[in-house]
Amino acid sequence: MPSGNKITIGTLRTRKREQRKISMLTCYDYATARLMEEAGIDSLLVGDTYAEVCLGHSTTLPMTLDHMVTLAEAVRRGSPSCYLVGDMPYLSYQVCPQDAIRNAGLFMAKAGCDCVKVEVDRRLVKTVEAMATATIPVMAHLGLKPQSIQTVGGYKVQGKRAPDALRIIEDAKMMEEAGAIALLLEAVPTEVAAIITESTELPVIGIVSGPHCDGQVVVQHDMLGYGGGHPPRSVKQYANLHDLLVEAFRAFAKDVVESGFPTDQHSVAMDPAEYDELRRALAMKTGHVKPSRK
């Protein structure tokens, strides 16, 4: 049962109308979902970037539907109130509208997502229309589409040239007309994001698309400084978990090697009478008496 604080698409629409920005982070597990909910993040995206940041793949393509739905279920358990977006993985919606509807249904009915996200352009307008008709709330992801990386040829800003920008702006309009309930713009120039955001009623979430979108999503590992290498220039880092965690792991390893952990404080002792009985039983069996406990 949604609580009074549940963030819905209605909340996001109001936020757009009132020009109050929407915060969104990627989230892939129960414990982090709890923290994000406690911190007041508006929306959590169970993104297929999990393949890269958690599984170590170089693209998002290896994510499977079952795996994504399992992650979404865990995130929902940790966060009953945030607006939960399930990212449909590669080939779970591109093959045909029937697949798209059935697979989206798992995110909605099994995992309890509030909407699903699909990476689209005008060629998938019929799919988005079919999903909307089937009561699937769709967030249309436009601009850079990581699932198409092999055809695009790299992670590049999209719409830098006027004809390409116009095409993305038209695609956004088509998605709105097809029944999408929100848009996500990835790696489009600031001006393009501003034009789309101003010209639609839909909440528009941006990533690497400038400050004019209605909301902002970031991959959590990037903003936390968690994972390999330097964060991209487009990301503001809010913590340095890399250093914090390496420090903790190093301290643990040192403790174990130097017998600083575990100590009696971290261990469970037998009741003295039980231990005496055990010693007697062992002595009867082996003839060897264990030392009494200090």
CB atoms within 10 A of CB 253: 10
Decide: is 26 part of the binding site for ligand KIV (CB under 6 A).
Answer: yes
Binding window for ligand KIV (CB under 6 A); candidates: 43-51, 76-84, 122-130, 192-200: 43-51
Task: Work out how close the CB of 217 gets to ligand KIV at its nearest, in angstroms, rounded to a whole number.
Answer: 5
Task: Work out how close the CB of 256 gets to ligand KIV at its nearest, in angstroms, rounded to a whole number.
Answer: 36
Binding window for ligand KIV (CB under 6 A); candidates: 47-55, 222-230, 247-255, 264-272: 47-55
Radius of gyration of the chain (CA): 25
Decide: is 87 part of the binding site for ligand KIV (CB under 6 A).
Answer: yes
| Dist. CA 55–CA 68, nearest whole Å | 13
Phi-psi region of 74 (alpha: psi -120 to 50; beta: other; left: phi over 0): alpha
Task: Work out how close the CB of 135 gets to ligand KIV at its nearest, in angstroms, rounded to a whole number.
Answer: 23
Taking alpha carbons only, the member of 153, 146, 101, 102 closest to residue 127 is: 101
Decide: is 43 part of the binding site for ligand KIV (CB under 6 A).
Answer: no
Residue nearest to ligand KIV (CB): 47
Task: Work out how close the CB of 91 gets to ligand KIV at its nearest, in angstroms, rounded to a whole number.
Answer: 15
| Dist. CA 66–CA 245, nearest whole Å | 30
Binding track, positions 173-192, relative to ligand KIV; x by CB under 6 A: -----------x-x------
Binding window for ligand KIV (CB under 6 A); candidates: 45-53, 64-72, 152-160, 169-177: 45-53
Can you tell me which of 16, 36, 47, 121 binds ligand KIV, judged by CB under 6 A? 47
Decide: is 49 part of the binding site for ligand KIV (CB under 6 A).
Answer: yes
* DSSP conformational letter for 112: -
Decide: is 89 part of the binding site for ligand KIV (CB under 6 A).
Answer: no
Give the strand pairing for 204-207 and 22-26.
unpaired
Identity of the residue, 101 or 208, whose beta carbon is nearer to ligand KIV in the bound complex? 208
Q: Which of residues 193-232 bind ligand KIV (CB under 6 A)?
A: 207, 217, 219
Taking alpha carbons only, the member of 52, 39, 43 closest to residue 85 is: 43
Distances (CA, A) of 202 to 10, 37, 196, 293: 11, 24, 10, 71
Please say whether the beta carbons of 139 and 164 come within 8 A: no
Decide: is 125 part of the binding site for ligand KIV (CB under 6 A).
Answer: no
Can you tell me which of 42, 48, 73, 114 binds ligand KIV, judged by CB under 6 A? 48
217 bridge partner residues: 24
Token readout for 170 is 């038209």
Catalytic residues: 186
Distances (CA, A) of 273 to 43, 73, 138, 294: 56, 47, 65, 13
Q: Is the peptide bond before 211 cis (omega within 30 degrees of 0)?
A: no
Q: Which of residues 95-124 bind ligand KIV (CB under 6 A)?
A: none
Please say whether the beta carbons of 11 and 24 come within 8 A: no
Identity of the residue, 141 or 293, whose beta carbon is nearer to ligand KIV in the bound complex? 141
**What residue type is 224 in one-letter code?**
L
Task: Work out how close the CB of 265 gets to ligand KIV at its nearest, in angstroms, rounded to a whole number.
Answer: 42
Q: Which residues bind ligand KIV (CB under 6 A)?
A: 26, 45, 47-49, 87, 184, 186, 207, 217, 219
